[in-house]
Amino acid sequence: MRYIAADFGAGSGRVIVGTMCAGDTRPCDSTRVNIELEEIHRFENNQKMIDGHLRWDFYALFNELKTGLKKAFAKYGDEIHSIGIDTWGVDYGLLDKEGRLISNPICYRDSRTQGMLELAFQKLPKDEFFKRAANQFMEINTAFQLLSETELQRADKLLFMPDLFNYFLTGKCCNEFTIASTSQLLNSLTHEWDDVIFDRLNLPKRLMQKMVYPGTVIGRFIDELAEEVGGNANVVAVGSHDTASAVASINDTSDDWAFISSGTWSLMGTPTKEPIISKEAFDSDFTNEGMTDGRIRFLKNITGLWLIQQLVKEWEQEGYKCDYSSLVREAEQSSVSSSFDVDDARFMNPDKMSEAIISYLKERNLTLPTTKGDFMRCVCISLAKKYAEVKTQMERCTNKKINKIYIVGGGSKNQLLNKLAAEYTGCEVIRGEVEATAMGNILMQFTIDN
């Protein structure tokens, strides 16, 4: 049996085929199975300025998905049983009454949400808001994007990004639980759309769709798509928020571990049975999001490899060819010890990341990086220090000691970052799956059949 994980990240996407194999389990698998992952298709995900807004090119992404499906069916045919879609959180597309996508979805890094937090808190006080949705307050969250949305009157349905891909595959509309839990519109205790939030913010609850949970079969490909890609399969609701799928790849039944899903963002948290809505959690700005097994990911969103991605992009535009492994080796040789707050607003979407970092350090009279290795080390130290800070806050909020940290995703390959994370947090750092999201995605599909 073979399964497809379509994993859309904020910088790139992958179509991966997972095959169930005999043999020993991998150390981070959440079930007693061995899965062989095969990357069938990889592509870039670049945002574009269109009509004055930074947008995702949805149709280009869907075409890349179809290309991956064609390759997979050409190779494996009827052996492919199902497909699961996962993406980054908070962003959405709006459909009109005819079921057409009104426009390309706007990226969470667009400037339209500036000032929306203050506007929201005038309508619904911050502490009451947290007691209901129990999410970290970030202007990028869906609730605050909707406050700045100009197409609500035309819209008939709201689909989060993975829901939108599922709709284009099957023709069926639904909102999956783990992605919905990133929106700041869901009541954390009831797992239902919160009437008070919609009413106070004057947002149309009519846009929201039926909630489905990981493990639900949404449907099969529409006929014309099946003909185009050369095959058909079940479309399954997985942990469609990529971090939910990444955490599902971790096999640990103890209670003393945390995770860092290390990609464009570093999402650091720990599983809990119930949402934590204490004053400590509120003051520390944690979020409560859904897991594939019904538990809660109690976590904090931390700016992650975005910092390095933007530095590399900048250097390559200047004519330098950057190899990630070489940059890590240069960073290991660097003696720079300066650090910065990775979540400072200036790093959200600067024109030049290097200038933003230098600006921060200059204001504090700290040693400035001069080489690429210096910048890389500075970023790694800054991330590791943030991990240590969040770990301490997490322990206070959960009343448990964290002894192990699983780092999954692309950042798990950065040995310097892993080493510094262990040094600053005082924890055992365990490198998980690089393709943890695809692994968790496929494990959920496998679970349905077993």
pLDDT tens for each residue of 324-344? 899 999 999 999 999 999 999
pLDDT attached to residue 31? 44
Structure letter (DSSP) for residue 11: S
pLDDT attached to residue 367? 97
Which two structure tokens, joined as six digits, stand for 199?
Answer: 């009413």
More confident residue, 226 or 31: 226
Nearest to 161 by CA among 52, 304, 263, 8: 8
- Give counts: helices (H), strands (E), the chain: 16, 18
The per-residue pLDDT of the chain, averaged, comes to 95
Segment 121-138 shows an average pLDDT of 97
Segment 278-285 shows an average pLDDT of 96
pLDDT attached to residue 420? 97
In whole angstroms, give the CA distance from residue 190 to residue 422.
37
pLDDT attached to residue 55? 98
Nearest to 246 by CA among 302, 291, 198, 304: 291
Q: How does residue 22 score in pLDDT terms, banded at 50, 70 and 90? A: low
pLDDT at 4 over 90: yes
Rounded alpha-carbon distances, angstroms, from residue 428 to 27, 328, 403, 421, 423? 15, 21, 6, 9, 9
Which two structure tokens, joined as six digits, stand for 238?
Answer: 């997985």
Axis crossing angle, helix 324-333 with helix 372-398, rounded to the nearest 10 = 90
pLDDT tens for each residue of 260-270? 999 889 999 99
pLDDT at 208 over 60: yes
pLDDT tens for each residue of 349-401? 999 999 999 999 999 999 999 999 999 999 999 999 999 999 999 999 999 99
pLDDT attached to residue 25? 45
Active site residues: 242
Segment 71-97 shows an average pLDDT of 97
Domains of the chain: 2-243+437-449 (3.30.420.40), 253-432 (3.30.420.40)
pLDDT attached to residue 10? 87
| DSSP-H helix ranges across 322-398 | 324-333, 353-363, 372-398
pLDDT attached to residue 21? 83
pLDDT attached to residue 23? 56
User: Does residue 69 sit in helix, strand or coil?
Assistant: helix
pLDDT tens for each residue of 32-78? 478 999 999 999 998 999 999 999 999 999 999 999 999 999 999 99
More confident residue, 271 or 33: 271
